[in-house]
């Protein structure tokens, strides 16, 4: 299983919307590379998610800004705890046979 299979694209999309809303409300520009490092995903994976959000009409991918629907989604998730973009590996389970 490669690393891209472990990516939770819905969680990444939620992080993208929240980060862009925060930056946009402060009047700051967001670069794809910076956003990828903040979220903790590969640049290529983030580009794919941003492209999907653009196709759905939530993000203007060229300007890296939210549309009105993107703002609405980000606002609805403001108080939510977001899942990690990459699920953490479960700790190995050790079993001991005791005679």
pTM: 0.76
pLDDT at position 13, please? Answer: 92
Q: What is the CATH number of domain 3-76?
A: 1.10.10.10
**Tens digit of pLDDT for each residue in 44-79?**
999 999 999 999 999 999 999 999 999 999 998 877
pLDDT at position 4, please? Answer: 47
Q: Where are the domains of the chain?
A: 3-76
Dist CA 62 CA 24 (whole Å)? 14
């Amino acid at each position: 299983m490669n690393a891209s299979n472990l990516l939770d694209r819905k969680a990444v999309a939620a992080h993208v919307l929240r980060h862009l809303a925060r930056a946009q409300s402060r009047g700051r520009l967001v670069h794809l590379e910076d956003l990828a490092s903040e979220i903790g995903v590969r640049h290529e994976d983030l580009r794919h998610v941003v492209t999907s959000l653009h196709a759905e009409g939530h993000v203007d991918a060229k300007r890296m800004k939210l549309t009105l629907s993107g703002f609405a989604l980000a606002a609805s998730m403001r108080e939510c705890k977001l899942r990690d973009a990459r699920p953490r590996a479960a700790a190995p389970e050790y079993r001991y046979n005791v005679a």
